[in-house]
Structure 1
């Protein structure tokens, strides 16, 4: 399979290169630009470099999807982006988004953890991985930037950045409403309404809801699990400040209360150690989508935020101020031993609030484009986890005791100054120089308890084994160097070297001195070109990463430990080819190859307690890093009078993904191919849609880990959605 996919990738590159040379010359560039045929591929304007420009003029690997495209492809969350963007992988644990780009993602499962892909909502960094859910409605566009973005985006953008831009108020009265129904009794709604309140004052309000039956059942209690009950709303005001300025004020709210994110039994980690639940007469269901627990999982979360954006034209210079406040709170309860035996009760929670402020000055000065700015971030988190245990696990009388508990307050303060300068050396050459200096301070006040004697419930006062109060500071310098060469209009070659870093800090409950930041140097070269009168678009890139001081997490006893113990090498290539062979038909092919390996890395495997000595992991593949992936799609659209219909089919293949650095196949996702299909019809103000995702009903793992030795090392995790299908009806006004 790998050889055939590599052949497809090489064939794609060869096919792409031939028309570029055969059909385009420098001499006819102007005619090609000005006289593109009606079937030309549509363009999209992005703000990836914090200024508005065509995506084809941005010298980095980026994919952007408009809000209309998201709706037509039924992409209603970050998880669905994995089938639309090359070298992107997505999973979840406990409702926290595990986004990975080019093998660099989020693998810390404790509350308080931070990802390696920065997530921005309307320019405001969203620190909490769990808080990224609930932001995906009434969207103008989504931009996925691949590769470290240390200069313009700073902390935790080692893998890249996902920028979600919502629809803004307009001075014209407009809106839409969309309702849907699908299998699993999935009832959805989304809508928005906006317009002018008074001269210079515009508003927009939007909402989203979902109520869905469960994908599986708890065979012990008889209730459904992995269901959904979600509510979200957003309100925005836009004020014109004379002729030179605007101020946008936005607030949003999101709520979930369902039986989602519970652990599923995925297998036995060590063939010589039987999971404790089986030893105590417990069982697991035959269907992976079901669970067998004495209680139902629960998920309760609330997120809200408010942000303000001021933009002023100061006469050739633009001043922007972006202020954000976000409050997040969630609690998840599930089972640790994942059997029907009454042995454990696992819950974890996080309460956080963040404040951020960014100032930017940008403008043009002849051949120079520039942006300089300053950034401040302050976050407080209170989080922890609790595992009441049955004392019979350690030979004591049967009955639940207080067990394991960790809690802590974590605070992060960060400040940075940055700048990027693009200088046009000539009509064909542009050089870029950027730099960012970041400073951070992390502090923690936490404790750990392990109590096998006091009964549970109720929860009793804490008796900590240890307490910790500590603080650490760090700084990082993340420069960027790049050069662009444009031999003609709509053809660009670029090369860059850039640095990114992921914050250091503390892990609640692990009782160590904290962990240091990761740092990465990335080298990338690519090409973006449009050919054949706009009917062929080819974007390709190759990259090499030198990745140092990786933060690697693993479960030891009941603790999640984070080690600064590894370096790695990552390199690969990816391409996005779009072809319109004739009016109405568009074909998209996005192959990606990714080679990742640890080097100079030794660690003891907690799934093999019989060998406490570290084992060498040099050459092992990084987590969430499939070697080969391939996305393909074909879409045909046709207009008849005042109506239009389109039909689209998608295929997405991903190679094997490991979830631990030990590359254990039982704790991995097998290679899989998923198929999606969509039918959309528009007539005047009405929209009608049919959709189907994962049509072959593949059962794939969203995340897996080896659980605690205290319950016999079962493999636990969560699952991706099964086959889903349904219809939507919408009205635009």
Structure 2
């Protein structure tokens, strides 16, 4: 497979519908950029899809070290994230903002042709990557699973026929240390191998401060580590077997581990609910976005293993067979201090709140034996655990000639995810009845197992109607079967389940069981028909391409993307009982897309301009909000109108310029507010304007070359939640990055100095409106402040 090639004098960046690329100093035309956006190798300018592609060298030049870094230079792509435990991509305003571990996103992510269904597996180290392709708009025909908004495809480097290797090391502020090593080459006449390892360690940028409790005393617990650090190791291995002249097999085994990473912290601000809507607004906004208080240290642990076997066989000169088999296994644990401060509730305050069956006080010290009298008690400690396994299998036939190219295949997916979600502290305190001796609960726990089995059949063809016109038609039929076994309850410190509540009879706090069969853990439980979900639907596209001349392409596409239903994952059984279990399930969503695009190569290949205009008719969009502290997902119709452009110029030897832009206008119908009102809102992470670009100059210097580069990303104001609460509005911001790189004459080594977020811009990437709490607040997460460092690389 050919890839994007870079000349040492140019590292080119294409911001939107094209890819970054380069021009040798002696060339007057752009080199071809090859992608596999339609699962066959094509020149990017010949593909009637809105695509951004980054090669491995280009990502290195831009300083991308994490899988989410591509967001900064991909127009219409936004990020919503409070921790690596769950990553939400937003493409053209389409996303899935709930934090349930069993949910799938409408922006599908693929790694080496294999779908990654868990949003907890999307944030990780980026290394030894051949390229990344971002496809905008529904891609349901060829890629299928949940590619409603589009997809992101990470493609690892393949073993090489000649021995090669590299080592690199990085040091930076916040005690950053990063080391990477790669070796690749032949193991025998018919076997090639490749091994890459990367280790990253860094202190957190969110600083913990010891603070006073409600009594005016300093917190008594030990120091808490600064949050949002890194401690990760990743391994990529590949074996390529050239079995015959017509048959190749490549085996990839990827492993990663995040070990006790300081995480799970927020910048907390005081808030209040609007009396009419119940939506939050700031009362006293925290003016220190990189400091936090907490009485519980957050942590993140994850271990991920993925194995992919890809077999390719040429049946004859015009027909090829491909099989892609993937197995993925992930164990993940996460904990946070949700209320974002030292609780300020000394233990002594609660000494007489609870009595036993004989009317005698039950002291808090007996409830929390590790807490001394007068100690600060936690209010809202939130944790999740996930055990996740996935198996996928795709069989595909493809072929073609000068007039017709076609593909057809079968796809199977099996997902099994076991999850738990817990709340500890004062938020989980209820008094139990006689069944537990009037003991208070210490924890609210929800556990659920979601099993998904899906199969689909698909096909697509491109037919050359005339020399200038090509027709594309595609269709996929999908059958899904999902089951959910859900159990939510309050438990005492001894693990006893509260079956009744005597002090607050208005609110039932008995356990909630929700499954397709009767669950004996809940008295009087009945089977829930919605806990088993069967779904079938079609996705497809019809497109007409018009090749005006060798340098111009226009296209018109009508597409349908689909995403199946699922269940929300609340933590509190009393909140579930208030809303009713019928609210747990949400239906499938459907997106109809209408897009017109054009791609132009100008000035004898020294410039490219690409543009697209689209309209989305979104049926039953799965909108996330908090209602009575339940993670509520409702189905609401929505619309998006948008336009995108990209301009790339290489006017003089050694100079590269790029500019990309996105324009979005969105509306969502009938979002429910905490007070029961229904309002029309805008989609989250859908700024009206966003721009990104790059300027780079490279010149001869000391028998090698020196390059200077600055890139930027700008977003206008946007909403961070679909409820559009006043505290959700994020102001416009601009982020600049700078890089200076010296490369030796034979390119065997290079040294780079870099600064990210040059202007130390403060902007949020997450907000959660908790203004309905007894002590109202909002949780914010800010993107990383200014970071800088040095990277040295040696190739051999």
What is the TM-score with the length of structure 1 in the denominator?
Answer: 0.88
Equivalent in the alignment of 1:44: 33
- Which sits farther off after the overlay, 399-408 or 568-577? 399-408
SS of alignment partner, residue 272 of structure 2: coil
Q: How do 1:225-624 and structure 2 match up within 5 A?
A: 225-270=227-272, 287-315=288-316, 316-341=318-343, 342-390=378-426, 401-451=441-491, 454=492, 456=493, 459-460=495-496, 465-469=511-515, 470-509=531-570, 511-512=581-582, 514-564=585-635, 566-599=636-669, 601-603=670-672, 605-606=673-674, 612-617=675-680, 620-624=681-685
Q: 1:628 to 1:391 in 2, by over 3 A?
A: closer
1: CA distance between counterparts of 2:299 and 2:771?
21
Match of 1:678 among 730, 735, 739: 739
Equivalent in the alignment of 2:364: none
Whether contact under 8 Å (2:395, 2:411) holds in the other structure is yes
Q: 1:272 to 1:435 in 2, by over 3 A?
A: closer
Q: 1:35 to 1:303 in 2, by over 3 A?
A: closer
Question: C-alpha offsets along residues 186-243 of structure 1, whole Å, 9 cap, x if unaligned?
Answer: 1111221011111110000001111111102222325322211111001110000111
SS of alignment partner, residue 478 of structure 1: strand
- Which sits farther off after the overlay, 654-663 or 322-331? 654-663
Alignment of 1:657 onto 2:718: yes
SS of alignment partner, residue 68 of structure 1: helix
2: CA distance between counterparts of 1:284 and 1:133?
29
Equivalent in the alignment of 1:27: none
Whether contact under 8 Å (1:259, 1:296) holds in the other structure is no
Count matched residues: 677
Gaps of 5+ in 2: 1-15, 17-22, 211-222, 276-283, 344-377, 433-438, 500-509, 516-530, 571-575
Q: 1:272 to 1:546 in 2, by over 3 A?
A: closer
1: CA distance between counterparts of 2:76 and 2:619?
21
Question: C-alpha offsets along residues 117-155 of structure 1, whole Å, 9 cap, x if unaligned?
Answer: 010000000111111222521000000001111111112
Offset of 1:116 from its aligned partner?
Answer: 1.1
1: CA distance between counterparts of 2:627 and 2:758?
39
Offset of 1:104 from its aligned partner?
Answer: 0.5
Match of 1:141 among 131, 137, 154: 131
Match of 1:724 among 763, 773, 787: 787
SS of alignment partner, residue 70 of structure 2: helix
Q: 1:692 to 1:313 in 2, by over 3 A?
A: same
Q: 1:627 to 1:261 in 2, by over 3 A?
A: farther
Q: 1:696 to 1:36 in 2, by over 3 A?
A: closer
Question: C-alpha offsets along residues 48-76 of structure 1, whole Å, 9 cap, x if unaligned?
Answer: 10001111111010010100000111112
Offset of 1:638 from its aligned partner?
Answer: 2.5
Offset of 1:35 from its aligned partner?
Answer: 13
Q: 1:439 to 1:391 in 2, by over 3 A?
A: closer
Question: C-alpha offsets along residues 172-191 of structure 1, whole Å, 9 cap, x if unaligned?
Answer: 10111110011111111122
What is the TM-score with the length of structure 2 in the denominator?
Answer: 0.82
1: CA distance between counterparts of 2:458 and 2:25?
39
SS of alignment partner, residue 63 of structure 2: coil
Q: How do 1:139-288 and structure 2 match up within 5 A?
A: 139-220=129-210, 221-270=223-272, 287-288=288-289
Q: How do 1:44-83 and structure 2 match up within 5 A?
A: 44-83=33-72
1: CA distance between counterparts of 2:61 and 2:768?
35
Offset of 1:621 from its aligned partner?
Answer: 1.1
Whether contact under 8 Å (2:172, 2:788) holds in the other structure is yes
Match of 2:705 among 644, 651, 661: 644
Offset of 1:351 from its aligned partner?
Answer: 1.4
Q: CA RMSD in A?
A: 2.4
SS of alignment partner, residue 57 of structure 2: helix
Whether contact under 8 Å (2:689, 2:715) holds in the other structure is yes
Whether contact under 8 Å (2:159, 2:239) holds in the other structure is yes
- Which sits farther off after the overlay, 56-65 or 650-659? 650-659
Whether contact under 8 Å (1:285, 1:291) holds in the other structure is no
Q: How do 1:623-642 and structure 2 match up within 5 A?
A: 623-639=684-700
Whether contact under 8 Å (2:671, 2:723) holds in the other structure is no
2: CA distance between counterparts of 1:495 and 1:223?
53
Q: 1:729 to 1:664 in 2, by over 3 A?
A: same
2: CA distance between counterparts of 1:187 and 1:459?
42
1: CA distance between counterparts of 2:300 and 2:80?
17
Q: 1:479 to 1:329 in 2, by over 3 A?
A: same
- Which sits farther off after the overlay, 541-550 or 703-712? 703-712
SS of alignment partner, residue 71 of structure 1: helix
Q: How do 1:78-157 and structure 2 match up within 5 A?
A: 78-95=67-84, 96-134=86-124, 136-157=126-147
Question: C-alpha offsets along residues 617-676 of structure 1, whole Å, 9 cap, x if unaligned?
Answer: 2xx210111110011211112246862222111121101221222212312322101111
Q: 1:212 to 1:36 in 2, by over 3 A?
A: closer
Whether contact under 8 Å (1:218, 1:296) holds in the other structure is no
1: CA distance between counterparts of 2:289 and 2:473?
51
